[in-house]
């Protein structure tokens, strides 16, 4: 940034340069910027002096970007477009009817998406934005309305309500499950192709921990497929790539639809759960409060059709 200020005395000159380059005229740029034409000419001259290079060739009643001008124009245009997108997104955060739900891509895909029609039917005026991320951003710092988190229900400065207990069992495509004829006991899984979840930030139970829960101290096979997103894990399992750990609240519908088969007799219920979380430092907007109530009601309803 310091280097930029050394070369460009004022960011205003870059804005003037972008308008002149886009419109191909100092006069039209002046009209768009609501200034006099000499002010545009002076700003361009200042920028050219700072950079030590000509940015435009001046011809009779028209201007044309030089090769140096074209290079700078491409980068300045890209930067302005990114700033416009960012400022537009930030300005929307203050809208009272704008509800953001931050969760993993798997939760958004396999829990929220099948239920959105019900939400829209009940609250057609609510603008809900599903925000998927590979991390768990600060709710207050990023002005997030609601979030889904795995844990024990305690987050500083936040309220929380449990959506589902953490219930885990092996799942696979029905044809893969049927072909695994040696699955008479849990150790039989050690001879199967396993799909491993290796998220870079979120902590998730591994096959090794699942085996240890059942008193099996043998090391899980290193081979198999390793993925860093649970949505990809479920897609791979449905595609027949092997066995995956299935979280009940996200796989129950897939099992009911015949897309996955599950060994529910080999279930591990951990001490954690999946919680809907919101900030206690600022009040929820009325639309966000409605979405919160809807999620809690739906999560409490029995069966995979909930």
Q: Are residues 283 and 201 part of one domain?
A: yes
Average pLDDT over residues 29-42: 93
Q: How far apart are CA 218 and CA 187, in angstroms?
A: 9
Q: Are residues 302 and 209 part of one domain?
A: yes
**Where in the sequence is the domain holding 249, given as residue range(s)?**
98-306
Exposure letters 277-298 (e unless 16+ CB within 10 A, then b): bbbeeeebeebbebbbebbeeb
Which range, of 147-151, 182-186, 207-211, averages the lowest pLDDT? Answer: 182-186
CA-based diameter of the chain, in Å?
A: 88
pLDDT tens track for 114-124? 999 999 999 99
Q: Are residues 165 and 136 part of one domain?
A: yes
Q: Are residues 56 and 189 part of one domain?
A: no
- Residue 285 is given by DSSP the state P
Q: How far apart are the first and last CA of the chain?
A: 52
If one counts the domains in the chain, the total is: 2
Q: Are residues 136 and 6 part of one domain?
A: no
Residue 96 scores a pLDDT above 60 = no
Q: Are residues 118 and 37 part of one domain?
A: no
Say which CATH number the domain at 152 has: 3.40.190.290
* pLDDT score for 21: 92
For the chain, the average pLDDT equals 89
Q: Are residues 233 and 151 part of one domain?
A: yes
Q: Are residues 147 and 278 part of one domain?
A: yes
pLDDT tens track for 213-222? 999 987 777 7
Exposure letters 166-184 (e unless 16+ CB within 10 A, then b): bbbbbbbbeebbeebeebe
* pLDDT score for 7: 65
**Lookup result for tokens 């860093």:** 228
């Amino acid at each position: 940034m310091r280097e930029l200020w050394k070369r460009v005395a004022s960011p205003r000159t870059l804005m003037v340069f972008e308008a002149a380059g886009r419109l191909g005229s100092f006069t039209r740029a002046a009209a768009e910027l609501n200034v006099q034409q000499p002010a545009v000419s002076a700003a361009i001259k200042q920028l050219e002096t700072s950079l030590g290079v000509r940015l435009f060739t001046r011809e009779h009643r028209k201007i044309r970007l030089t090769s140096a001008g074209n290079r700078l124009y491409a980068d300045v245009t890209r930067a302005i477009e990114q700033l416009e997108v960012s400022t537009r997104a930030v300005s929307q955060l203050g809208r009272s009817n704008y509800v953001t739900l931050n969760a993993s891509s798997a939760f958004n895909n396999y829990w929220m998406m099948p239920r959105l029609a019900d939400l829209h039917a009940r609250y057609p005026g609510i603008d809900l934005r599903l925000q998927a991320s590979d991390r768990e951003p600060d709710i207050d710092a990023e002005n997030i309305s609601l979030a889904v988190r795995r844990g024990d229900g305690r987050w500083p400065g936040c309220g929380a309500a449990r959506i589902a207990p953490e219930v885990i069992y092996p799942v696979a495509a029905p044809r893969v499950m049927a072909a695994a004829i040696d699955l008479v006991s849990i150790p039989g899984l050690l001879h199967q192709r396993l799909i491993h979840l290796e998220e870079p930030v979120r902590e998730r139970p591994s096959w090794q921990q699942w085996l240890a829960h059942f008193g099996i101290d043998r090391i899980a096979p290193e081979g198999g497929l390793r993925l860093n997103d649970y949505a990809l894990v479920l897609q791979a399992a449905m595609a027949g790539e092997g066995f995956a750990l299935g979280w009940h609240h996200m796989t129950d519908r897939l099992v009911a639809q015949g897309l996955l088969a599950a060994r529910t007799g080999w279930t591990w219920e951990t001490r954690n759960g999946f919680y809907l979380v919101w900030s206690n430092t600022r009040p929820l907007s009325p639309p966000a409060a409605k979405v919160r109530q809807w999620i809690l009601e739906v999560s409490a309803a029995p069966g995979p059709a909930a």
